[in-house]
Structure 1
């Protein structure tokens, strides 16, 4: 009998996406998996220290194929010819969006072109969300991947083509640009632009189109985060909130009033809904926060992970 060839796989990082990936890879007894990480609490930090470009360069030098979930950056594209000469495959964007959406888009565009048609407007919206019966918190969202990455994705700038003109949205205005979007009864979605949609006019070969917008879907109801010297162990969430927004006190009424002043909600009902979400997260109360290296974002992530992770038997949903 011919010997069975073993597949050696190096997996970098051990964030929330890693466990299901590792479980899937381990189903094949021929796979020999090496997981590179530090202490669990630092795993995501470690993954960030291994950016894709050095990994791809190393793979080119070693003749090893690479699979990532990352967007294809300009720096990655510059390595295309080197990868081809090395005879390796560098497969990026292997997730739902971007990845599966590309397949459906190309299929539909080719069908339209084959019939002599033209694509004058292009919209592609996708959201990975908890199933409606599992969206049981105020924000209608749960985390199955990096909390930090999910929150920071809502602080990206956006760029898209609309009626022949390029429009841009700054990071601080991204979520304010979200608008209601109807797909089917029973789902209350909003949509906001996702990163830079402009190059997809050429990528998808729809040069005839005057509008190209790729966006993210969230249930209706869905911050800059920097290191703060004042963020110390032992602080309560009320104290953290007071410092973060510059409130005069830590009692609930004072904090609530200051949040409304700072946020400038578009309507009273919207303000009440968001205040209810902050109360549900415990951010206005006297519970002590778990401080992470003086960083408001990472401290918030610890709190949200306790409240917004999927439970046993709960299902997620992809709307594309």
Structure 2
């Protein structure tokens, strides 16, 4: 008889469903879904016969210890800043942990303790990070095993509306908090290009975007994401002259964001007039304030926005399209804003209201690695690994599937003793990656590999 396994899932957000479904296929698995808002946990748990719900405040050390002590493995899908609290408690009670988040310095500090306690703390096992690591290293290891070199590694990933659903000025929709999406647009970037380190200041990130062709039907722009340079070491490609990891968006997105940034709508400083208890204020009055003009007529607002854009920075046609987008969002209207203390959060409230997925609309995930290879005999080739997934309304989104399923697979492989490596881990080794890839492909999540 198979021993019962008790699994704790912290968080019940949008990627949790596919992970839960996968884990509960095995009859010995029992799952507790716990989050701060018990109603959210209950809504997910009631969809499955061997799932129950509890309320938990992970900042309450005693409560966290108590709930973790009752389980065999913990999945943490809560914000990454709370993972160290979870890992600390899990090590105390000798429980494995799985997260889909990047390993932070605070998480890495538990590496020695995890090894000492014979525990696997598996991280970065969603889509990006996750599936991207698996298939990057699959090709890199194949090339190295055959005596070849990686001259260039370029990787771009995008979570987007399917083309027919990209029906708004940004060509983007929010299935969860828009704040994180917008804050990421203010990061600086760093990468290797032709043997040199290139750094892009946060104010220039959107201007650095370039067209990127995967399939002719998609009009993508790409821009680098944070610091790609450590991946020369992480992926064991010291020979690579170019290493870039970045983001894909539809064309039009970056110019629109550029204007939002220029006029100050991504500012996260508190504003007196946007406090919850301040008087109601319309969007046209907010825009006038950020532009420092006294008139709030649409004509004057449009003129003032145009004056912030440098000559030849954005084409006239594109500026007109962006201004129509501002109007579509209601930024020139008498509509009262949802006051959220800062311009960024006030804008987010409007974006989330206007740019949600409607019933029946589907999302899309696209990921491509492009490798410039030098074979053992000196021949140069280009290899690509491409993942294209669509959501299946009314079922899970493509993003939920491609994050949740790898997470669920990692959980099961740890419980089954297939993943034996200990410590605070990322999917950077064949002994971890190959079994996960095999299970992913059984789920129909397949990356198309081509040699061009």
> Normalising by the residue count of structure 2, what TM-score does the alignment of the two structures yield?
0.64
Instruction: Provide the rounded CA distance (Å) in 2 between the counterparts of 1:180 and 1:115.
Output: 33
Q: Give runs of aligned pairs for residues 47-86 of structure 1, distance below 5 A.
A: 51-86=82-117
**Contact 2:80 2:101 (C-alpha < 8 Å) held by counterparts:** no
**219-228 or 2-11, larger mean C-alpha shift:** 2-11
SS in 1 for 2:198: strand
- Residue 279 of structure 1: CA displacement? 1.4
Of stretches 191-200 and 52-61 in structure 1, the one that deviates more from structure 2 is 52-61
Q: Deviations for 1:276-304, whole angstroms, at most 9, x for unmatched residues? A: 22111111211111112x12222222211
Task: Report what 1:168 is aligned to.
Answer: 199
- Identify the match of residue 284 of structure 1 among 329, 332, 335: 332
The correspondence of residues 45-124 of structure 1 with structure 2, limited to 5 A, is: 51-124=82-155
Return the alpha-carbon distance in structure 2 between the equivalents of residues 28 and 50 of structure 1: 31
CA distance in 1, matches of 2:91, 2:217: 49
Correspondence for 1:318: 365
Deviation at 1:211, TM superposition (A): 1.0
Please point out which of 202, 208, 230 is paired with 1:199: 230
Determine the C-alpha separation between the residues in 1 that align with 2:158 and 2:198: 22
Alpha-carbon distance, 1:233 to partner: 4.6
CA distance 1:51–1:274, shift in 2 (3 Å):
same
> Is the 1:233–1:291 Cα contact (8 Å) retained in structure 2?
no
State the secondary structure of the residue aligned to 1:120.
strand
Bigger Cα Rg = 2
Instruction: Please list, as runs of the form range in 1=range in 2, the aligned pairs for 1:297-316 lying within 5 A after superposition.
Output: 297-316=344-363
Q: Deviations over 1:4-57 (max 9, x none)?
A: 625241413x5554566667667777433232224999x9xx955952222222
Matched, 1:11 2:54: no
CA shift, 1:187, in A, is 0.6
Structure 1 unmatched runs, 5+ = none
Structure-to-structure mapping, 1:128-139, within 5 angstroms: 128-139=159-170
Contact in 2 for aligned 1:233/1:290 (Cα 8 Å): no
Residue 236 of structure 1: aligned partner:
282
1:88 is displaced (CA, Å) by 2.0
The residue that corresponds to 1:225 in the other structure is: 268
Select between 18-27 and 304-313 the one with higher mean Cα deviation: 18-27
Corresponding residue of 1:255? 301
CA RMSD of aligned residues (A): 2.6
Cα distance change, pair 40–148 in 1 and its aligned pair in 2 (3 A): farther
How many residue pairs match? The answer is 314
Cα pair 1:130 1:315 within 8 Å, conserved? yes
* 1:268 and 2:316 correspond: yes
CA distance in 1, matches of 2:152, 2:228: 13
Quick one: higher RCO (CA 8 Å, sep 6+), 1 or 2?
Answer: 2
1:213 aligns with 2:244: yes
As a proportion of its length, which structure holds more strand?
Answer: 2
The equivalent residue for 1:148 is 179
Structure-1 residue corresponding to 2:381: none
Quote the offset at 1:198 in angstroms.
Answer: 0.3
Q: Are the equivalent residues in 1 in contact too, given 2:273–2:279 (CA < 8 A)?
A: no
3-state DSSP class of the match of 1:284?
Answer: coil
Give me the whole-angstrom Cα distance separating, in 2, the residues matched to 1:154 and 1:106.
Answer: 27
Farther-moved stretch of structure 1 (97-106 vs 52-61): 52-61
Structure 1 residues 112 and 6, CA gap change in structure 2 (3 angstroms) = closer
Q: Call closer, same or farther: CA 1:166–1:267 in 2, change over 3 Å.
A: same
Deviations 1:215-234 (A, max 9, x none): 10000111332221122351
Q: 1:17–1:145: 8 Å Cα contact kept in structure 2? A: no
